Chains A and B, each alone.
Chain A
Amino acid sequence: MEIGKPKRIYRVEPLRNPVPSKRTRPERKAPQTAPAR
């Protein structure tokens, strides 16, 4: 990806985990089907 030259470097430590936990994930509408080949 063409994002240009580096400007600054940051240390980012989110207080809240950006990965949704299994508990908080919305319930799926339908079971996941294997993709057609």
Chain B
Amino acid sequence: MSALGPDSLEVPDFAEALEAWRVWRVVARKEGYRLGSVVKPALWPTDAPLVARCLRITLVPSWLRRRRGKEHAVPLDRCECGIYAGWLPTVAQYLDSVAGGPVALVLGQVSLWGTVIECERGFRASLAYPLRIFAPVEAPPRGRHRWKEIVSGLETYGVPVEPLPAHYRDAVELVERTLVSGRSEREA
């Protein structure tokens, strides 16, 4: 564990990726279904980690950022950049609706590594990849899209994609119940 500050980043604190939760937009691309971030316009690659960039400074040309010394490591504690993931209850608010274009919404666990900032209810990381995806199949996808094809398409990420018999509003609660009952069974 390190105190905040760049000087303390030389020795790894963890040799395993940290895990947290997030919601993704499902995006239909010509190559298939892909995960997209809900708040920012980031598309998650299928065979490599998503690498965080500071989107606050991308409107400034790179030569000007270098000249002004504005480029910084991502994430930075005093900025808002990084790949976000939170404790399970914090992601429920992002499962409200699919208004605005995505095919559907899914939730799941994500692996976080590189530089990771622990916050009060989650993390901001420099590198991330999905760990497990839950598809709330009782919420209708937009238009003519079907969950069967979406679930199959998201398997391209190489991680478990599990249909969850819930609408968006119930998805977090059902995941919590499923995880608790799974834990009890293992402990019994």
Contact = CB atoms under 8 A, between A and B. Distances in A.
Interface residues of B, number: 66
Contacts of B84: 1, 3
Nearest to A32: B32
B11 A8 contact: no
Nearest to A16: B16
A6 B124 CA distance: 9
Interface in A12-32: 12-16, 18-20, 22, 24-26, 28-30, 32
Contacts of A26: 155, 158
Given A1-B91, A10-B1, A32-B32, A18 B113 contact: yes
Interface stretch (B53-61, B143-151, B168-176, B179-187): B143-151
Contacts, number: 154
Contacts of B14: 10-14
Number of contact residues on A: which range applies?
20 to 34
A15 B15 contact: yes
Interface string B49-89: 10000000000000000000000000001000000111000
B36 to A, nearest CB: 13
A36 B145 contact: yes
A20 B158 contact: yes
B86 A32 contact: no
Given A6-B4, A12-B125, A32-B153, 10 more contacts: A1-B85, A6-B118, A7-B118, A10-B1, A11-B9, A14-B14, A14-B111, A16-B16, A34-B30, A36-B149
